[in-house]
């Protein structure tokens, strides 16, 4: 059995060594190591995104994502407006309504999709809920329905353990909001009909742009189903009954930020140098380092108690203190440039949320541990 060194809080002094990059926000997340905006390619800036060069860069970005994700040729990738939220709502608005819907909600974004389905689209979904830190009963999902779920709960620190619970012979579509899971886990693309994410998570890219991935069954739905509600222009993926293929070849629906695209390309090229396995390994090492910190401290715990469903990117922690003390801790750490933006999500139980994705260095997670001790002791004393 692994022995755990206990950290006592008596006579805690301010640490000297700080994380080199104290960027632990869960979105936008830390830039990749070595990032320098001066190193971005700039030839396309000031050019039309519909120019030959603009379309080449957008298509190159798509090709890099496909290669890193080991995505089958059967799946299409589109760059769309509105970050992950825009991408997921685009999928909901264009594809739901053909059959019953089941929505899984165990954190705030899953609850958001329930609100969209009930209040905006006026459908009556079956809702399977669980408290923060837990998963609903995945075996209760009826796969004759379309199913909405978050692969990795950014605000709860809970993820689905794998794709085994998704039926191979499903009649409905699987809609995975995978924004803090893509590039951090080996996703089973044969189980996912629709996936969405944004560059601002595991890649450390900029916000405002989403990525929509469609499997062949999702394309079939788009071409065979006409929604009962109006579709804004930025949601329209079909023209004359056929998929607008250009959207998935770099011909975006509206004007993207080419600076954000170049930023994403830089991150993707960095990621390519590591490979998909390297990205996953970095996230795993960071999560393991944070696990050791938690195990050594009686006053820290994981909101997600079950390790099999615990996020390895957006890790949510409980603190043996009230909300006022936790807020003071977060402020102290930011003022000391020891850890930025690690307060729990506003709708989640009071606690800490620490990003462990691939762009964070494990040494910085380790260096944060003594600072957590100092901030906790200082906040409790004050």
- Would the pLDDT of 382 be above 70? yes
- Would the pLDDT of 353 be above 90? yes
Mean per-residue pLDDT for 57-82?
97
pLDDT in tens, 280-326: 999 999 999 999 999 999 999 999 999 999 999 999 999 999 999 99
Cα separations in angstroms, 248 against 5, 167, 214, 273, 313 = 52, 27, 10, 25, 28
Q: Looking at residue 11, what is its pLDDT?
A: 61
Q: From the centroid of its chain, how far is CA 107?
A: 13
Domains for the chain: give ranges and CATH numbers.
Answer: 37-264 (3.40.640.10)
- Would the pLDDT of 219 be above 70? yes
DSSP three-state, residue 372: helix
- Would the pLDDT of 2 be above 50? no
Q: Extract the runs of DSSP E, i.e. beta strands, from 178-239.
A: 194-198, 209-214, 238-239
DSSP three-state, residue 212: strand
Q: Looking at residue 18, what is its pLDDT?
A: 97
Q: Looking at residue 212, what is its pLDDT?
A: 98
Q: Where are the alpha helices (DSSP H) in 106-254?
A: 108-115, 216-224
Mean per-residue pLDDT for 372-377?
97
- Would the pLDDT of 51 be above 60? yes
DSSP 86-140: HHHHHHHHHHTTSS-EEEEESSHHHHHHHHIIIIIS----EEEE--TT----GGG
HSE-CB at 158 with a 13 A cutoff on CA atoms is: 23
Token pair in block for residue 324: 């006022």
Mean per-residue pLDDT for 189-216?
97
pLDDT in tens, 271-292: 999 999 999 999 999 999 999 9
Q: Looking at residue 1, what is its pLDDT?
A: 42
- Would the pLDDT of 7 be above 90? no
Instruction: Report the chain's mean pLDDT, rounded to a whole number.
Output: 96
Mean per-residue pLDDT for 198-207?
97
Q: Looking at residue 355, what is its pLDDT?
A: 98
ω into 328 cis (within 30 of 0)? no
Single pTM value for the model: 0.96
DSSP three-state, residue 143: coil
pLDDT in tens, 121-155: 999 999 999 999 999 999 999 999 999 999 999 99
- Would the pLDDT of 43 be above 50? yes
- Would the pLDDT of 29 be above 80? yes
pLDDT above 90 covers a percentage of the chain that reads 97
Q: Looking at residue 122, what is its pLDDT?
A: 97
Q: Looking at residue 8, what is its pLDDT?
A: 66
């Amino acid at each position: 059995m692994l022995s755990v060194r206990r950290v006592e809080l008596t006579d805690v002094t301010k640490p000297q060594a700080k994380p080199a990059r104290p960027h632990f926000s869960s979105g936008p997340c830390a830039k990749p190591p070595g990032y320098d905006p001066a190193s971005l390619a700039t030839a396309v800036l000031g050019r039309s995104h519909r120019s030959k060069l603009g379309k080449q860069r957008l298509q190159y970005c798509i090709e890099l994502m496909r290669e890193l994700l080991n995505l089958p040729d059967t799946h299409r990738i589109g760059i769309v407006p509105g970050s992950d939220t825009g991408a997921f709502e685009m999928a909901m608005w264009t594809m739901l309504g053909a059959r019953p819907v089941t929505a899984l909600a165990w954190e705030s974004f899953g609850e958001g999709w329930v609100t969209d389905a009930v209040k905006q689209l006026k459908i009556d979904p079956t809702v399977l809920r669980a408290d923060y830190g837990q998963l609903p009963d995945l075996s209760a999902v009826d796969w004759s329905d379309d199913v909405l779920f978050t692969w990795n709960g950014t605000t709860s620190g809970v993820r689905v353990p794998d794709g085994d619970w998704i039926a191979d012979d499903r009649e409905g579509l699987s809609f995975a909001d995978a924004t803090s899971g893509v590039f951090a886990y080996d996703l089973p693309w044969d189980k996912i009909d629709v996936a969405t994410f944004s560059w601002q998570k595991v890649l450390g890219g900029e916000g405002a742009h989403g990525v929509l991935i469609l499997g062949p069954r999702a394309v079939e739905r788009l071409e065979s189903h006409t929604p009962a509600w109006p579709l804004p222009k930025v949601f329209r993926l079909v023209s004359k009954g056929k998929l607008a293929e250009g959207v998935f070849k770099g011909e975006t629906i509206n004007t993207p930020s080419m600076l954000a695209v170049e930023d994403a390309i830089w991150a993707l090229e960095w990621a390519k140098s590591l490979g998909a396995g390297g990205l996953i390994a970095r996230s795993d090492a960071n999560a393991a380092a944070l696990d050791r910190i938690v195990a050594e401290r009686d006053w820290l715990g994981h909101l997600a108690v079950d390790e099999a469903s615990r996020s390895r990117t957006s890790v949510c922690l409980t603190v043996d203190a009230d909300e006022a003390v936790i807020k003071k801790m977060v402020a102290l750490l930011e003022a000391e440039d020891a850890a930025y933006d690690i307060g729990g999500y506003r709708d989640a139980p009071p606690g800490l949320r620490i990003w462990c994705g691939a762009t964070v260095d494990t040494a910085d997670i380790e260096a944060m541990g003594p600072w957590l001790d100092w901030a906790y002791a200082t906040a409790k004393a004050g």
